[in-house]
């Protein structure tokens, strides 16, 4: 079964596990996990970096092969035939008129087939399932991961079962149904959906895509870092602003750069800034704390509204090891950032993604963006996914009878 170019490594005890079977959490460390706290024993996928180093001359060679040497699947042919990843990077020069200028690059992952970053993870999970004859994939989701898995499984002729809290935004629920997945709305939170999905995979033998549970999701997400370094012509950005909820996307971005570091393709880690809503800051508030404390989340940015950040321990490890930065922004700042972004760039991002931009704006206001610096903002999903969140920004005029006089009045 599967490919043997990788190993699973526990982020807590460091124990390594051979591939060749389906692994989720480290059996040793997860044995004492308790509900209501982030899980221990999340696994990371590692490769024989020395061997890979000797197998290529240029990064371009790795890219031409679809980075297959750094993926836990046998063939890129197992990936869905949708255009996943390879998303655009838009550059904007900011000049504040005081001889202070800097550059913002927006990595627009709303351009994925189901309009979110999550397609990167779904693609890899789906490919692995195909290579291992696993026909049904289940996931718990607040919306984006579910709509993504549903779309990818439709492309791959696989069955998807999506367990969502009933309050997920309508657009995401609609996507799931349109893609033909089985949807299971639960009376409860994302955490309830998460627990049910794990019980369901045990009961029915379904493959489980849950983030911070299935180690492949990070491997899919890390490819965004490979693309970034390529699009920036190997100039490492000074900062990368990433929206953070459960800590999986940010870990994926770290993992991508860590792979590049281990292959000597880059020589240092860029500063990665985890941006959370101040109404959902359970990840960054708990970093370095002895006791994990949860404050119920209430942000409008539903994709990063998280009570238990499932990938807390891995994200914390990365942030501490590579001196990452953290910042919270208010919901008002998120909405303002969303409006500024749309009106100045033509990019309409969902609130979670706008939060990352709000983080950059806050840095700028506090004069923390260096002159001539290069900054990346990761836009993780489309604004069309959650129209209700921005309804307070919209002032729709009354309709008029079509005459020039009425038009003049309206203008």
Interacting residues with Zn ion (CB under 5 A): 10, 12-13, 26, 28-29, 41
What is the Cα–Cα distance from 319 to 244, expressed in whole angstroms?
12
Our CB check for Zn ion shows the closer of 24 and 348 to be: 24
What is the nearest approach in angstroms of Zn ion to the Cβ of residue 292? 18
- Minimum gap (Å) between residue 43 Cβ and Zn ion: 8
At closest approach, how far in Å is the CB of 311 from Zn ion?
A: 15
What is the full DSSP assignment across 322-388?
TT-EEEEE-HHHHHHHHHHHHHHHS--B-HHHHHHHHHHHHHHHTT-SPTT-EEEEEE-BBGGG-TG
Minimum CB distance to Zn ion, residue 251 (Å): 16
Q: Which is nearer to Zn ion, 39 or 151 (CB)?
A: 39
| CB nearer to Zn ion: pick between 39 and 324 | 39
Helix ranges restricted to H, 89-231: 119-131, 144-156, 170-178, 190-204, 216-221, 223-231
CB closer to Zn ion out of 12 and 258? 12
**Bridge partners, 216 (sequence order):** none
Rounded to 5 degrees, what angle do the CA atoms 190, 359, 83 make?
65
Q: Tell me the closest approach of the beta carbon of residue 39 to Zn ion, in angstroms.
A: 11
For residues 43 and 300, which CB has a smaller minimum distance to Zn ion in the complex? 43
Q: How far is the CB of 44 from Zn ion (least distance, A)?
A: 11
- Burial label, 221 (beta-carbon count in 10 A; 0-12, 13-18, 19+): buried
The answer to whether residues 307 and 299 touch, using CB atoms and an 8 Å cutoff, is no
Residue 120 or 255: the one with the smaller Cβ distance to Zn ion is 255
Main-chain dihedrals φ then ψ at residue 17, nearest 5 degrees? -125, 140
Output the smallest distance, CB 26 to Zn ion, in A: 3
23 or 160: CB nearest Zn ion: 23
Radius of gyration of the chain (CA): 21
Q: Which residue has the tokens 């993780």?
A: 380
């Amino acid at each position: 079964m599967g490919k043997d170019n990788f190993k699973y490594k526990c982020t807590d005890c460091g124990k390594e596990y051979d591939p060749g079977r389906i692994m989720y959490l480290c059996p040793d460390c997860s044995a004492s996990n308790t509900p209501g706290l982030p899980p221990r024993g999340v696994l990371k996928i590692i490769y024989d970096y020395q061997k890979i180093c000797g197998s290529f001359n240029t990064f371009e060679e790795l890219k031409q092969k679809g980075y297959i040497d750094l993926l836990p699947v046998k063939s890129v042919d197992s990936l869905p035939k949708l255009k996943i990843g390879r998303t655009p990077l838009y550059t904007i020069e900011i000049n504040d008129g005081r001889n202070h200028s800097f550059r913002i690059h927006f990595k627009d992952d709303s351009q994925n087939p189901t309009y979110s970053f999550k397609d990167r993870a779904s693609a890899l999970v789906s490919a692995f399932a195909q290579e291992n004859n696993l026909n049904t994939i289940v996931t718990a989701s607040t919306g984006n991961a579910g709509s993504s898995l549903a779309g990818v499984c439709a492309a791959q002729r696989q069955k998807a079962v999506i367990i969502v809290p009933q309050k997920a935004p309508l657009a995401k629920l609609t996507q799931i149904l349109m893609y033909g997945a089985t949807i299971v709305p639960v009376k409860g939170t994302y955490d309830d959906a998460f627990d049910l999905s794990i019980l369901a995979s045990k009961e029915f033998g379904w493959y489980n895509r849950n983030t911070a549970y299935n180690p492949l999701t990070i491997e899919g997400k890390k490819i965004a870092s490979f693309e970034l370094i390529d699009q920036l012509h190997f100039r490492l950005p000074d900062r990368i602003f990433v929206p953070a909820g459960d800590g999986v996307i940010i870990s994926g971005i770290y993992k991508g750069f860590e792979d590049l570091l281990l292959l000597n393709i880059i020589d240092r880690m860029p500063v990665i800034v985890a941006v959370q809503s101040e109404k959902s800051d359970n990840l960054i508030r708990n970093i370095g704390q002895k006791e994990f404390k949860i404050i119920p989340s209430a942000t409008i940015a539903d994709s990063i509204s998280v009570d238990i950040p499932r990938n807390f321990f891995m994200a914390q490890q990365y942030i501490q090891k590579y001196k990452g930065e953290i910042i919270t922004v208010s919901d008002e700042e998120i909405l303002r950032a969303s409006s500024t972004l749309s009106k100045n760039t033509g990019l309409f991002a969902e609130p979670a993604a706008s939060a990352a931009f709000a983080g950059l704006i806050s840095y700028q206001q506090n004069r923390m963006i260096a002159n001539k610096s290069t900054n990346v903002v990761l836009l993780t999903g489309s604004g069309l996914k959650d129209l209700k969140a921005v309804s307070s920004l919209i002032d729709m005029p009354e309709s008029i009878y079509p005459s020039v006089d009425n038009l003049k009045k309206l203008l």
